[in-house]
Structure 1
Amino acid sequence: MGYDDVGSQRLKQAVDRALVKPEWCRSYSVSPAEARTLYGVNNELVDALIGMGFPYKGRGEQVTFDPLDLENLGLDLELPSASRTAMSLWARTFKNPARLATARCAIQISWSCPVPEHTGDCGCDFTMSPRIKNQSAGLAVHDSSGWNADLDGQLSNDDHIFQDGFAALVEEAEKLHFHRLSRELAQDMDFLCEHRIADCRSASMHLAGVAAEAGLVVRQASGYFVGTPFLVPHIWLDVDVNGQWIAADPFFLQALARWGVVNPEDWPPTRSPRNVLWRIRSDHFEEPLIRHGAADVPVKLVARMSYKRCI
């Protein structure tokens, strides 16, 4: 996709949003070739970006870009990137709310030993987070590629339309623009308030304050957005409705509508996201799912949805 395909105004807005990020949060590691294959930014668009002052380092063949800058550029300009491909799968997940109401989720978690000198079935001391252990469908299995276990994902399945006081959250969420941010920048509420740019972490922290002012009782929740087949770490709000915690995510639903992933008539920002959120914790911290001794272990999560037939 080139400069003429995206329009000069949209491109300028995307570049301006990138430029408000502080330089300290950037890591220049993506070459133009990688920008083309991974983020859908072709050579013509690279030249236009450099000419407009988009953040980069180097010159000639040694130019590099920050991966989050390119990720956000792709979101703003709807470039044919890996993220857009994933979103097309998310759209299938959300397509039929009635069908989604009957969904059950099987999650496979897989990992390998993080210690280089450990090979084969080394008898490593792995432990599963107690927050998900009760969802395990059996013992972990070891093969040549590592370990894996099956989980019966307990997803949030409350269908609810929020009303009293919730309009304040929807109105405030509409003023925010979704960008992927570094962890440090996502915790900077001054950055959010000045530039109105947020990710799910910073938006949930900000909207929790708005909710309190509106008289709502809320808590932050963290876990995963189950955009089959791959899960994405996510943070949202739970709202206390008559003593029951119900998931609420007006910021993310509005972003999904802008990206064309959901139909806003089926999924208005006042609706609780149903059977797409896997809650692990009741705060905004991430939970290590597998540990090797005292160390966190990177994991791969793949989800498979099954649906009851409607009679």
Structure 2
Amino acid sequence: MTSDESVAVVVERINRVPDRFRAYTEPQERVTRFYRIPPELLTGLLDHGLPHARDGDRLLFDRRDLKNVVLRLSVRSPQHTALRSMAEALEHGSRHAVVRRTLNVTAGCPAPGHEGDCDVTLAAPVRAAAREITRMAGGHYQIAVEVPGGPAELLDFGPAHWQLVEAAAALEFHRVPYHVIADVGFTAETGLADCRSATRYLVHVGRRLGLDVRPAAGIHLSRPFANTHCWLELRIGGEWRTADPFFNLVLGRWGIVDGAAWPANRVPKGAFWHLTELLEPVMHHGDTILRPSLLVR
């Protein structure tokens, strides 16, 4: 049973985001059917000030706010299942020296019926990083992916690295508006961040601490549905190493992984397919950016 106190905490965090970033498009009936938020929980959220709008007798909600509710209150939903799948991918990577996956990238034509062949192509970083690419029918590609895995390894952090971990620990995972992803001031002021904004913020903090740190982005090879993801790379012992203190801490704090087994300095092996420094589109149709489905087997 979700406590009234935890509901109040979630709503308070949601309200740290200015209302100008909201779009009230989700009707009340979809809240229960798709987001699986029970009516009694929705009543409690509204009592504590969950932002909403009215269209006649109907209540409308912001999609991002609802996703934050189900994530923070562990409501059984596709959003919460995705986090557990990401944790399973991390555990899988630690059991195999090399992780081989087949990534199916699929998108429909954004302008069906146009003249000529449908020009659906993979972005250059995807093509460069793939071990093998097979063009299927339409906007469907099968990509053979190979990433190094291996047993648990802890990075040798110095005092400045642990200060960076303190900065990561002060952040709360929250789906933030696209407009504030690069705004490190917003992240510092609100303490709210997703993997994209947390990565930018921690790179900013790390460089101020004198660390060699850079952003990394790509695809988290969770099954069956992959997710785009951002993390850090730290130069330690003369080489760049993968690190994800923010996400390790989030998964441990939420009980999705064993926090003792996944401390902030554990290397996330076998789950991240590195493509670029910052998140970029995976697929295009001519000059149009597509948002494909990412299915992993």
Settle same-fold status: TM greater than 0.5.
yes
**C-alpha spacing 1:52/1:217, structure 2 compared with 1 (3 Å):** same
Partner of 2:18: 22
Are 1:66 and 2:73 matched, yes or no? no
Sequence identity percentage: 30
1:64 Cα deviation from its structure 2 partner = 0.8
Whether contact under 8 Å (2:120, 2:139) holds in the other structure is: no
Are 1:50 and 2:46 matched, yes or no? yes
Partner of 1:127: 121
Partner of 2:78: 82
Are 1:151 and 2:130 matched, yes or no? no
1:217-267, Cα deviation, whole Å (9 max, x unpaired): 011111122221211121111112344322111011111112222112222
- In structure 2, distance between residues paired with 1:91 and 1:298: 23
Specify the SS of the correspondent of 2:105: strand
Partner of 1:201: 196
1:271 Cα deviation from its structure 2 partner = 0.9
- In structure 1, distance between residues paired with 2:56 and 2:252: 38
- In structure 1, distance between residues paired with 2:60 and 2:141: 39
- In structure 2, distance between residues paired with 1:132 and 1:97: 21
- In structure 2, distance between residues paired with 1:234 and 1:21: 22
1:209 Cα deviation from its structure 2 partner = 2.2
**C-alpha spacing 1:175/1:31, structure 2 compared with 1 (3 Å):** same
Specify the SS of the correspondent of 1:230: coil
- In structure 2, distance between residues paired with 1:36 and 1:137: 42
1:183-227, Cα deviation, whole Å (9 max, x unpaired): 112222222222211111221111112222333201111112222
Are 1:228 and 2:220 matched, yes or no? no
1:56 Cα deviation from its structure 2 partner = 0.5
Specify the SS of the correspondent of 2:242: strand
**C-alpha spacing 1:303/1:23, structure 2 compared with 1 (3 Å):** same
- Of the structure 1 ranges 207-216 and 248-257, higher mean CA displacement relative to structure 2 is found in 207-216
Whether contact under 8 Å (1:170, 1:269) holds in the other structure is: yes
Written as runs of structure 1 = structure 2, the 5 A alignment for 1:149-298 is: 149-155=141-147, 157=149, 159-164=153-158, 165-282=160-277, 284=278, 286-298=279-291
1:49-84, Cα deviation, whole Å (9 max, x unpaired): 222221011177410111111111112211122212
- In structure 2, distance between residues paired with 1:220 and 1:277: 13
1:97 Cα deviation from its structure 2 partner = 5.8
- Which consecutive aligned stretches of 4+ in structure 1 deviate over 6 angstroms post-superposition? none
Partner of 2:295: 302
TM superposition score normalised by structure 1: 0.86
- In structure 1, distance between residues paired with 2:69 and 2:119: 42
Specify the SS of the correspondent of 1:6: coil
Specify the SS of the correspondent of 2:147: coil
1:19-69, Cα deviation, whole Å (9 max, x unpaired): 111011101111222111222211112222222221011177410111111
- In structure 2, distance between residues paired with 1:76 and 1:269: 20
Partner of 2:6: 10
Letter of the structure 2 residue corresponding to residue 186 of structure 1? I
1:113-157, Cα deviation, whole Å (9 max, x unpaired): 2222238xx522333222222415244121xxx332221224364
- In structure 1, distance between residues paired with 2:213 and 2:35: 36
Structure 1 residues without counterparts, runs of 5 or longer: 305-311
Structure 2 residues without counterparts, runs of 5 or longer: none
